Amino acid sequence: SSFLKRCRALLRVRNQLVRECLAELLAVFILILITLSGAAQMVTSSGTKGNILTSQVAGALAVMVAIYTGAGVSGAHLNPAFSFAMCLVGRLPWWKFPIFAAVQTFGSFIASAAVYALYYDAIWYYSNGTLSASGPLETASIFATYPADYLSISNGFVDQVIGTAVLLVGALAILDTRNNGIPKGLEPVAVGLLVFAIETSMGANCGSPINPARDFGPRLFTYVAGWGAEVFRWVEGRG
């Protein structure tokens, strides 16, 4: 018992900023690990062990679990767009924004590596040994979102502005103590349902990333892991 107490005292992090960064890192890691695993199960099984609905449910539940993981320390922003909004309304100092955004992106990156390790054999078996971002056996969409063939850059921009705006307005409404109250402790459940609503209604164009870290971190991972520069190109090389 005394040994465990000494270990806890030794490992205790007292710096508040470091505590917040570690909490945000762990929460984002959990978020991306579950979200991408849901997509990997769907893609590598060719839809026999999952479909778009199960993938969306996994993503929504991942948000709930991630918020429960880090909310007590960092607020579980999970998303640079949400951190930016918190800066705009004065709930987060501006100097913390780049730190949070970097930590969130890094958490997404290492979570992508964990999913790749978890589904390594399945990815290589499904893709016949070729890592591709296009074609019938592409696997890059496990990690990042890609636009539909018909989508223009301008429409993609509008899609993400509207989807992210709905996320932020909904989250702020849920957290507003002057609004109709949500039972204490159930806020993460409400946010998870909000994300599920966005995914099932606004996911056709871009896959509904609504989170720069969720998309860029995994996309960067696929770039360095062997999918190549194709992961940063728009459909049909338009940009």
**pLDDT, one tens digit for every residue, the chain (239 residues):** 788 888 888 888 888 999 999 999 999 999 999 999 999 999 999 989 989 999 999 999 999 999 999 999 999 999 999 999 999 999 999 999 999 999 999 999 999 999 999 999 999 999 998 998 888 899 999 999 988 888 888 898 999 999 999 999 999 999 888 888 788 889 999 999 999 999 999 999 988 889 999 999 999 999 999 998 889 876 555 55
Q: What is the count of structural domains for the chain?
A: 1
Give the domain extent around 94: 12-232
1 within domain boundaries: no
| CA–CA gap between residue 196 and residue 105 (Å, rounded) | 22
CA 14 to chain centre: 28
6 within domain boundaries: no
Say what percent of the chain tops pLDDT 70.
97
pLDDT of residue 208: 87
pLDDT of residue 196: 96
The answer to whether 95 and 53 are in contact (CB under 8 A) is: no
One-letter-per-residue 3-state SS of the chain: CHHHHHHHHHHCCCCHHHHHHHHHHHHHHHHHHHHHHHHHHHHHCCCCCCCHHHHHHHHHHHHHHHHHHHCCCCCCCCCHHHHHHHHHCCCCCHHHHHHHHHHHHHHHHHHHHHHHHHCHHHHHHHCCCCCCCCCCCCCHHHCCCCCCCCCCHHHHHHHHHHHHHHHHHHHHHHHCCCCCCCCCCCHHHHHHHHHHHHHHHHCCCCCCCCCHHHHHHHHHHHHHHHHCHHHHCCHHHCC
52 within domain boundaries: yes
- Nearest to 209, CA basis, from 23, 59, 97: 59
| CA–CA gap between residue 39 and residue 56 (Å, rounded) | 9
Domain with residue 175: its CATH number is 1.20.1080.10
5 within domain boundaries: no
Please list, in sequence order, all residues whose beta carbon lies within 8 angstroms of the beta carbon of residue 53, skipping any fewer than 6 positions away: 200
pLDDT of residue 237: 53
pTM for the whole structure? 0.92
pLDDT of residue 235: 57
pLDDT of residue 234: 65
151 within domain boundaries: yes
217 within domain boundaries: yes
